[in-house]
C-alpha cells in the first residue's frame, strides 16, 4: 500500500497533524502498513515503527541515518505486555511497579518466543522496554495493538526533539506522519537501566534521577564501559552534538557567542541568550534543554557557551548530554 493512500485526503508524507482520535487512528494504519510515525512521549518525540516488522524497524535506521549497532527501545502499553517480550526478574517487577508508566527504560533478556524484530536488539540478546506515560503515546499503542520500536525522532547525532517542529526540521520528508502533542514535559530521554546482571547498571542517565531509582532498587552502578566497549551504544562520544561547537562551564561570554544560561545572574554580552531556568530549577532546565540547544544552534553563533549546571538530581543527566554534545566530532 502506498503511504499516500493511507494518509488520506489532504495528507501528504511528513505532515504535522494535531493528535486526536482521527489522526491517531490514521497513524496506527500507517504503522500497520510498515511506515513510520513520529509521536510525542513525556520524554522526547519518538520515531515509531511496528516493532514486530523487520522492514519497518530497518526503515527507522534508514530515516535516522543511524549506525546499525544501536539497539532500539520497544514501547508497550503496560507491564503485562512487557512480560511477553522480555524475561522479568524481581528488580524489574519492582522498577516497573514504581516507575511505569514513565521515563524509565529497562534492559532485560529477550524472551525466545517474542515476536519483536531482532533488529531492535541490534545483535544483543537483550531488549530495552518502556511503558510511556504520555496519553498520545498510550492512545497510539492502544490503536495499533502492537509494540512500537522508537528511538528519538531526530537524524542520527542530532539533538533529541521535544516539539513536533523539531521532528519536522530534523527528519524532513523521512517520516510519514508527525503527531503533534505539544512540547514534551520531561524534555530528557528516559533513564536506561540494565537489569540483566546481579546489580542494576545505569547505562544512560535520564528522566528519573539515579537517587530516586536507588530508593526503590538499592545501589546502582554507573556504566564505566562506554569508552572501549559501550554497553549502551547510543552513548557514543559525540552522539548528542548540535551543529555549532559547545563551550562548557562558561562564566563569561564573547559577543559572537550564544549563551545557554542557568540561574538568576547570567553574564551579559552574548549575541543571543536563553536561560534554562532563571530560578535555578533543575527540572525546568531539563525540560528546556533540547529546545534551547535547537534554538541556539545557528551558524551566526561562533559557539554556544553553556553556564555550569549543578550535578544534583537531573543535573547529572543534563551534564551527561552536554559533555557528549561538546565532545570532539567523530
Kind plus residue range of the DSSP H or E element containing 273: strand 272-275
Which of 192, 292, 305, 307 is in the footprint of ligand TXA by CB under 6 A?
192
How deeply is 185 buried, as exposed, middle or buried, from its count of CB atoms within 10 A (0-12, 13-18, 19+)?
middle
Give the relative orientation of helices 90-99 and 210-217 as an angle to the nearest 10 degrees. Answer: 130
Short-list 193, 189, 183, CA closest to 214: 193
Cβ closest to ligand TXA, residue 253 vs residue 314 = 314
Cβ distance 116 to 51 under 8 Å? yes
Which of 107, 167, 179, 276 is in the footprint of ligand TXA by CB under 6 A?
107
44 makes contact with ligand TXA (CB under 6 A) = yes
* Stretch binding ligand TXA (CB under 6 A), from 8-16, 86-94, 120-128, 242-250: 120-128
- Give alpha helix (H) positions in the chain: 3-7, 21-32, 54-64, 79-82, 90-99, 135-144, 164-171, 210-217, 282-296, 315-326
Cβ distance 25 to 144 under 8 Å? no
Kind plus residue range of the DSSP H or E element containing 73: strand 73-75
152 makes contact with Mg ion (CB under 5 A) = yes
CA-based angle 76:90:142, to the nearest 5?
Answer: 15
Query: What does the per-residue mask of binding to Mg ion show for 157-196, with x meaning CB under 5 A?
Result: ----------------------------------------
Q: Cβ 203 to ligand TXA, closest distance in Å?
A: 5
234 makes contact with ligand TXA (CB under 6 A) = yes
In angstroms, the CA 91 to CA 108 distance is 11
Query: What does the per-residue mask of binding to Mg ion show for 99-138, with x meaning CB under 5 A?
Result: ----------------------------------------
121 makes contact with ligand TXA (CB under 6 A) = yes
Short-list 325, 79, 32, 318, CA closest to 177: 32
Which of 11, 14, 34, 71 is in the footprint of ligand TXA by CB under 6 A?
71
Task: Choose the one of ligand TXA, Mg ion, none that binds residue 288, judging by a C-beta under 5 to 8 angstroms depending on kind.
Answer: none
Which of 11, 14, 34, 46 is in the footprint of ligand TXA by CB under 6 A?
46
Q: Cβ 242 to Mg ion, closest distance in Å?
A: 13
User: What are the residues binding ligand TXA (CB under 6 A)?
Assistant: 41, 43-44, 46, 70-73, 103, 105, 107, 121, 124, 126-128, 130, 150-152, 189-190, 192, 203-204, 231-235
Amino acid at each position: 500500500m502506498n503511504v499516500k493512500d493511507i494518509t488520506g485526503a489532504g495528507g501528504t508524507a511528513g505532515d504535522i497533524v494535531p493528535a486526536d482520535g482521527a489522526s491517531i487512528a490514521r497513524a496506527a494504519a500507517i504503522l500497520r502498513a510498515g511506515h513510520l510515525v513520529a509521536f510525542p512521549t513525556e520524554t522526547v518525540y519518538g520515531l515509531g515503527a511496528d516493532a514486530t516488522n523487520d522492514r519497518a524497524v530497518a526503515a527507522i535506521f534508514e530515516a535516522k541515518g543511524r549506525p546499525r549497532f544501536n539497539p532500539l527501545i520497544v514501547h508497550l502499553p503496560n507491564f503485562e505486555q512487557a512480560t511477553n517480550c522480555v524475561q522479568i526478574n524481581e528488580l524489574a517487577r519492582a522498577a516497573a511497579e514504581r516507575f511505569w508508566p514513565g521515563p524509565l527504560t529497562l534492559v532485560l533478556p529477550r524472551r525466545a518466543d517474542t515476536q519483536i524484530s531482532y533488529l531492535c536488539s541490534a545483535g544483543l540478546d537483550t531488549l530495552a522496554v518502556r511503558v510511556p506515560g504520555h496519553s498520545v503515546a498510550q492512545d497510539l499503542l492502544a490503536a495499533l495493538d502492537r509494540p512500537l520500536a522508537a528511538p528519538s525522532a531526530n537524524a542520527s547525532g542530532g539533538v533529541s526533539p521535544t516539539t513536533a517542529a523539531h521532528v519536522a526540521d530534523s527528519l524532513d520528508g523521512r517520516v510519514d506522519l508527525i503527531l503533534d502533542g505539544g512540547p514534551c514535559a520531561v524534555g530528557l530521554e528516559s533513564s536506561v537501566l540494565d537489569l540483566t546482571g546481579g546489580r542494576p547498571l545505569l547505562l544512560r542517565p535520564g528522566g528519573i534521577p539515579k537517587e530516586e531509582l536507588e530508593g526503590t532498587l538499592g545501589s546502582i552502578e554507573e556504566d564505566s564501559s562506554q569508552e572501549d566497549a559501550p554497553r549502551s551504544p547510543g552513548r557514543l562520544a559525540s552522539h548528542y552534538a548540535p551543529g555549532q561547537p559547545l563551550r562548557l562551564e562558561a562564566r563569561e561570554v564573547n559577543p559572537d557567542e550564544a549563551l545557554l544560561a542557568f540561574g538568576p545572574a547570567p553574564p551579559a554580552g552574548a549575541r543571543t541568550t536563553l536561560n534554562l531556568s532563571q530560578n535555578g530549577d533543575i527540572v525546568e532546565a531539563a525540560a528546556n534543554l533540547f529546545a534551547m540547544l535547537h534554538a541556539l544552534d545557528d551558524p551566526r553563533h561562533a559557539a554556544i557557551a553553556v553556564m555550569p549546571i549543578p550535578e544534583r538530581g537531573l543535573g547529572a543527566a543534563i551534564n551527561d548530554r552536554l559533555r557528549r554534545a561538546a565532545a570532539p566530532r567523530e
